[in-house]
Amino acid sequence: MALYKIQNKKLQHIKSIPFKFEKEIQTICESNLEEVFGLQFVKSELALKNFRIDTLAFDGQTKSFVIIEYKKDASFSVVDQGYAYLSLMLNNKAEFILEYNEKFSKKMKKKDIDWSQSRVLFVSPSFTPYQREAINFRDFPVELWEIRKYSNDTVSYLKIQATKTAESIKTVSKGGKGIKEIEASTLEKLIEKSSDVIKDACLSLREEIYHLDSNIEERPAKTMITYYSDGKGLLWIVPHKNNVTIHLRKGKYSDKYGKINPDGWGGYPILKLKEDEVDMHYLRNLIKQAYEF
C-alpha cells in the first residue's frame, strides 16, 4: 500500500524502509502491544522444550494467551508453526500461567484461562500468496499482520483478513481433529441461539460498521464481538437470546431515547435493547458518534 504526504495540495510519496533485523520488528511491537493489539506483554524470548517463543502476551478481554512470532522474510509455514505453538501452549499450561503470575504478581489458575481462545500472531513486512490463502478460514486461530516502516518515522500495521464467506477450518480437518481444545469464535457462532430479531440486528450492525469504515477490525471472543478502529475499541456487542447488550467507546452521546447508561462496564457507556427496542436508524447514529470520538 502506497503512502503519501499532502504538501501544498500535492501528494508526495513516502518511501518504505526495510527492517534491518527481525529484532527491530520485535522491539517495536513489544513496546506497543496495548496500543496496536490490545494485549498485555508477558515475556520476551520464552524458552520451552525445543521452542523459543518471540513474545508471550495475554488478552484480558478473552482471558487467553497469545503467542507472537516475528519474521523478516516470508520463508516459513503459518500452518505448521502456528499449530506447533498452539500445541506447545496447550500441553504446557502450567508454565504459561507461571509466567503470567510472576509478571503481574497474580494467582491465576488453569480454570481462569479460556484456552479455547488461544491464538498465534505472525508479524512480518510481507506474506506470500500461499501464506495469505493458508489462513483463509473463518475460525483459524492464526493471524497475519503486515508491518511497514517509512522514511518519515511512520509505522503501519495491516491485519490480513480472511474472506467473510470463508469455510470453517473444521470442514477440512477430518471433523475438527488435532487441537480440539481450540475453538475460535465467530459472530455467526455467538448468535446461534439468539432470536431471529437479535440475529438480524447483530448482522446489520456489522454491515453498518463496515460501511462506515471497511478497515474496522472485527475480533470475536467467546461471549462478545469487538470492533476496533485505529487499534482502539469502537464497540462491544454481547448477543443474548431475546436481547442484545452494546458497550460503546467512551464519549458523551446524543441519545434521543435516553437508553444509554453512561456508567457501564469499565466506565464505558452501555446500551441494553430488547427485541422490540431494536431500531437500526438509532443504532446507526450511535455508531457514527462512537467512530468520531
DSSP conformation letters of 181-219: T-----HHHHTTTS-HHHHHHHHHHHHHHHHH-TTPEEE
Residues 138 and 202 in one domain: no
How do residues 245-268 score in pLDDT, each as one tens digit?
999 999 999 998 999 998 887 788
Total residue count of the chain as it appears in this document = 293
**CATH number where 105 lies:** 3.40.1350.10
Q: Dmax of the chain from CA atoms?
A: 59
Looking at residue 213, what is its pLDDT?
A: 86
Residues 170-227 pLDDT 10s: 655 544 444 667 776 788 888 999 999 999 999 999 988 988 887 888 888 888 999 9
pLDDT of residue 170: 60
* Residue 139, domain member (yes or no): yes
212 and 80 fall within a common domain: no
Please state, as a whole number, how many other Cβ atoms lie within 10 Å of the Cβ of residue 215: 12
> Are 28 and 133 found together in one domain?
yes
153 Cβ neighbours under 8 A, 6+ residues apart:
none
Identify whether residues 262 and 209 lie together within a single domain: yes
- Domain assignment present for residue 4? The answer is no
Query: Residue 177 domain-assigned?
Result: no
Q: CATH number of the domain at 205, please.
A: 3.90.1150
Q: Residues 18, 122: one domain?
A: yes
Provide the domain count of the chain. Answer: 2
- Residues 103 and 151 both lie in one domain: yes
Specify if 28 maps to a domain: yes
Same domain, 125 and 209: no
Residues 21 and 163 in one domain: yes
- Asked whether residue 5 is assigned to any structural domain, the reply reads no
Mean pLDDT, residues 38-66 taken together:
94
> Do 145 and 221 belong together in one domain?
no
The DSSP letter of residue 110 is: G
Residues 15 and 160 in one domain: yes
Sheet of strand 260-261, all strands in order from the earlier edge strand to the far edge: 217-220, 225-229, 232-239, 243-248, 270-274, 260-261
Last-in-domain residue among 107, 140, 172: 172
Nearest-angstrom CA–CA distance, 165 and 143: 17
pLDDT of residue 73: 82
Give the per-residue pLDDT at 132.
Answer: 87
| Residues spanned by the domain of 215 | 187-292
Asked if residue 213 and residue 165 are part of one domain, the reply reads no
* Same-domain pairing of 15 and 148: yes
Determine, yes or no, domain membership for 207.
yes
Whole-model pTM: value is: 0.73
